[in-house]
Chain A
Amino acid sequence: MDMNTAKLKKNAFRVTKERGLAASRIRVPGGHMDARFLAIIQEIAEKYGNGTVHITNRQGFEVPGIDFTDMPKVNELLQSIIEGLEINQEEMNCGYPASGTRNINACIGARVCPYGCYDTSAFAQRMEKAVFPNDLHFKIAFTGCHNDCAKVRMHDFGIIGMTLPQFDPNRCVSCGACVKKCQTKSVGALTLVNFRPERNHKKCIGCGECVLACPDAAWMRSKETYYRLTLLGRSGKKNPRMGVNFIKWCDEESIIKIVCNTYEYVKEYIDPNAPGGKEHIGYIVDRTGVPEFLKWALRDVTLPEIAEVSSPLYWNGIRYSE
């Protein structure tokens, strides 16, 4: 049997353990889609696969057991999913090009979750439009609040939703619910002063627990949505580590710009001999030093006045070699 495996992989299939069988990989940008696509995935699995579907860690579906010869038919079935999810495509009915930049994850966010500070899937999809398709190995994830259910700190770029709580003293009834919630569930940024909560802006992480706790709408969400951008978390066999705080009270436009700028930085500095042309950004930053990275990442970025940029940036993590 002759099969160009590089082409197969580039067409969003996996070469599996079983000789001659592939797995079709269907990514779901932002992790949210119309239920009707499930029926197509079922059809692919039952007609061409082994009848099972794996739900992937990056919010996609992987349909195993597909005979190499059936891949064109699978691609035809995939067409309506690709169109419906607006996945980048080069040629109709031929599947879609897999990409070094991974599917952009999102927790369920404000579409459903009471804690979510923004529509995570929608922002993920806007980010996708800005960066896809791209061969560079970038992992980006969106989470609605500081609970970080999407584990964004394990990504190169983690986006955490924030709201800037607005206080109307005339509605406060001094019940203390906000202070208690902030203390027990969040960072303890609130204290009662003269019977009313006082917010320590330095401490506050904009989680919105005070807004949710307030029984009289004395606390409200800000009109603007803010984000915390975390930087260069990763897993892997060398030095897994959590992403660190980069910008607090950041805005959407700046985040997209920073990510796009980082692609330029990586193109400039990636190890030309990196296996498969992929290198975690963090290792590149380890090599060039943080100041050089920041020079590229923050080029032409105008942060909102409220934004706080962490400095210096230090990563820790686990080193298997030690």
Chain B
Amino acid sequence: MGFELSTGGVNAFLRELARTGRVVAPVRFEGGGAFTGTDCVRYAEVTDIENVVFDEKSRFSFRELLLPPSQTLFYFTEDSITEPTPETRDTIIFLRSCDLHAVKRLDEICRGGANPDYYYEQRRKNVKFVLMGCKKAFDSCFCVDMGTNISDNYDLSIEPDGDGWHLDCKNAEWEPLLRAQGGTETPVTPAHVTETKTRVSIPDDLDFSVAKSKLWDEYDKRCIACGRCNFSCPTCTCFSMQDLFYQDNPKTGERRRVLASCMVDGFSDMAGGVVYRKNHGARMRYKVLHKVYDFKKRSGFHMCVGCGRCDDVCPEYISFSHIVNRLGDAMKEVSEHAE
């Protein structure tokens, strides 16, 4: 059911939701950027729709709400363990279509197998999604080519329209709330983009022989292995475990899991000192092919959703979409060598 609602009405609706849940959305952290005087748009709890940033892409994705960068799994003493109290309230997440498609990837990875991720499930089960319509793609977006520009599996869609807001509600419990706030019914189709400035094409004949291409060598030097691409990615789920013992009482401590990055040193270290992907080019190859090749072989769809954040955040101006577009030539190069 579509609605038209004033800003005051939307805020009253959000306050209703906040009775039983927390509303999280991309907001502006003033001065929160790494450079002096720059802001950072990332996720935080909101009470007012005016604080939700629609005209900029968030630096980090909603993913950190389902898979926090650092999460304590349990605390231990000599003979007991205690789990932190899980969040039981609803989490209402504002996100764009590409990110909503990323949820499907996260679900596939964390819920799909025989052993679903208990900690992911704890958070995931209480989540509701509010789709932020995109009227225009940002420069680095390539959602159309990844097929992630349209979503319909939301609880609510929202986008600014003049002084007010257009919403499409699919959550039956929320409809009366919207009506109660003075929402007038009107047909609403969430805005979505149909073209992007950045285009990608993944070659049909892509296979693992592309690993032998010289393409990757360039990134040995250019990539600094900082992991920004992974940490901003809505579909990266890798983590490491840490058991730590409190300094003032080493008989107690906690187990944490923290996000890991396949670009950062240590990711492919094995017992005995073997490092599988020492060169940064090899790490780039591993990441790129996982996002647009081998993940699909297992799941049937690409991991990458084309949000373009990895392009936005790379301090060395390495463009993931550019690499994807070089794969065709790289395939030609390796097939010529094979002959």
- B59: chain A residues at CB < 8 Å are 217
Given contacts A144-B36, A194-B247, A225-B36, 15 further A-B contacts (CB under 8 A): A171-B69, A172-B69, A173-B69, A173-B231, A173-B258, A175-B227, A175-B261, A194-B246, A212-B34, A213-B226, A215-B228, A216-B60, A217-B40, A217-B60, A223-B31
- Contact B69–A163 (Cβ < 8 Å): no
- Choose among A114, A213, A220 the residue that contacts B32 (Cβ–Cβ < 8 A): A220
- The interface-forming segment of A71-79, A116-124, A233-241 is A116-124
Q: Compute how far the CA of A220 lies from the CA of B37 in the bound complex, rounded to whole angstroms.
A: 11
Q: Compute how far the CA of A119 lies from the CA of B38 in the bound complex, rounded to whole angstroms.
A: 12
CB closest chain-B residue, reference A180 = B265
With contacts A170-B69, A173-B261 taken as known, whether A215 is within 8 angstroms of B37 at the C-beta atoms is: no
- A144: chain B residues at CB < 8 Å are 36
- Contact B37–A119 (Cβ < 8 Å): yes
Task: Answer whether residue B1 sits at the interface, using C-beta atoms and an 8 A cutoff.
Answer: no
CB closest chain-B residue, reference A216 = B231
- Contact B70–A171 (Cβ < 8 Å): yes
Task: Answer whether residue B153 sits at the interface, using C-beta atoms and an 8 A cutoff.
Answer: no
- B247: chain A residues at CB < 8 Å are 193-194
- A117: chain B residues at CB < 8 Å are 36
Task: Answer whether residue B18 sits at the interface, using C-beta atoms and an 8 A cutoff.
Answer: no
Task: Answer whether residue B52 sits at the interface, using C-beta atoms and an 8 A cutoff.
Answer: no
Residue of B29, B37, B42, B69 most packed against chain A (CB within 10 A): B69
Residue of B36, B247, B260, B265 most packed against chain A (CB within 10 A): B36
Instruction: Identify the B interface with A (CB < 8 A).
Output: 29, 31-32, 34-37, 40, 42, 59-60, 68-70, 226-228, 231, 240, 242, 244-247, 256, 258-261, 264-265
> 20 pairs across A/B with beta carbons < 8 Å?
A161-B36, A169-B70, A170-B69, A171-B69, A172-B70, A173-B70, A173-B261, A174-B70, A174-B242, A175-B226, A193-B247, A194-B242, A194-B245, A194-B247, A195-B256, A212-B35, A216-B259, A217-B59, A220-B32, A223-B31
- Contact A211–B31 (Cβ < 8 Å): no
Q: Compute how far the CA of A177 lies from the CA of B266 in the bound complex, rounded to whole angstroms.
A: 12
- A211: chain B residues at CB < 8 Å are 34
Q: Shortest Cβ distance from A108 into chain B, in angstroms?
A: 12
**Nearest 6 pairs between A and B by C-beta?**
A110-B36, A194-B244, A215-B228, A216-B231, A215-B227, A173-B259
- Choose among B34, B36, B246, B256 the residue that contacts A217 (Cβ–Cβ < 8 A): B34
CB closest chain-B residue, reference A114 = B35
With contacts A110-B35, A118-B36, A217-B42 taken as known, whether A175 is within 8 angstroms of B70 at the C-beta atoms is: no
- Contact A215–B68 (Cβ < 8 Å): no
Q: Compute how far the CA of A194 lies from the CA of B258 in the bound complex, rounded to whole angstroms.
A: 13
Q: Compute how far the CA of A118 lies from the CA of B228 in the bound complex, rounded to whole angstroms.
A: 25
Interface Cβ pair total, 8 Å cutoff: 83
- A170: chain B residues at CB < 8 Å are 68-70
Q: Shortest Cβ distance from A163 into chain B, in angstroms?
A: 7
Chain B contact surface mostly: loop
Task: Answer whether residue A14 sits at the interface, using C-beta atoms and an 8 A cutoff.
Answer: no
Residue of B34, B59, B245 most packed against chain A (CB within 10 A): B34
- A173: chain B residues at CB < 8 Å are 69-70, 227, 231, 258-261
With contacts A118-B36, A174-B242, A194-B244 taken as known, whether A215 is within 8 angstroms of B60 at the C-beta atoms is: no
CB closest chain-A residue, reference B227 = A215
Q: Compute how far the CA of A133 lies from the CA of B83 in the bound complex, rounded to whole angstroms.
A: 67
- B34: chain A residues at CB < 8 Å are 114, 211-212, 214, 217, 221
Q: Compute how far the CA of A163 lies from the CA of B35 in the bound complex, rounded to whole angstroms.
A: 11
Q: Compute how far the CA of A239 lies from the CA of B286 in the bound complex, rounded to whole angstroms.
A: 60
Q: Compute how far the CA of A215 lies from the CA of B240 in the bound complex, rounded to whole angstroms.
A: 16
Q: Compute how far the CA of A177 lies from the CA of B34 in the bound complex, rounded to whole angstroms.
A: 14
- Contact B242–A116 (Cβ < 8 Å): no
Q: Compute how far the CA of A218 lies from the CA of B227 in the bound complex, rounded to whole angstroms.
A: 13
- Contact A116–B70 (Cβ < 8 Å): no
Q: Shortest Cβ distance from B62 into chain A, in angstroms?
A: 15
- A214: chain B residues at CB < 8 Å are 34
CB closest chain-A residue, reference B264 = A175
Q: Shortest Cβ distance from B129 into chain A, in angstroms?
A: 23
Q: Shortest Cβ distance from B161 into chain A, in angstroms?
A: 32
With contacts A173-B69, A173-B70, A174-B240 taken as known, whether A215 is within 8 angstroms of B36 at the C-beta atoms is: no
Q: Shortest Cβ distance from A106 into chain B, in angstroms?
A: 14
Q: Shortest Cβ distance from B239 into chain A, in angstroms?
A: 9
Q: Compute how far the CA of A177 lies from the CA of B256 in the bound complex, rounded to whole angstroms.
A: 19
- A118: chain B residues at CB < 8 Å are 36
Q: Compute how far the CA of A212 lies from the CA of B228 in the bound complex, rounded to whole angstroms.
A: 11
CB closest chain-B residue, reference A223 = B31
**Per-residue CB proximity of A166-195 to B under 8 Å, as 1/0?**
000111111111000000000000000111
Q: Shortest Cβ distance from B41 into chain A, in angstroms?
A: 11
- A171: chain B residues at CB < 8 Å are 69-70
Q: Shortest Cβ distance from A319 into chain B, in angstroms?
A: 39
Q: Compute how far the CA of A49 lies from the CA of B37 in the bound complex, rounded to whole angstroms.
A: 41
- Choose among B69, B226, B242, B260 the residue that contacts A177 (Cβ–Cβ < 8 A): B226
Q: Compute how far the CA of A116 lies from the CA of B245 in the bound complex, rounded to whole angstroms.
A: 38
CB closest chain-A residue, reference B30 = A223
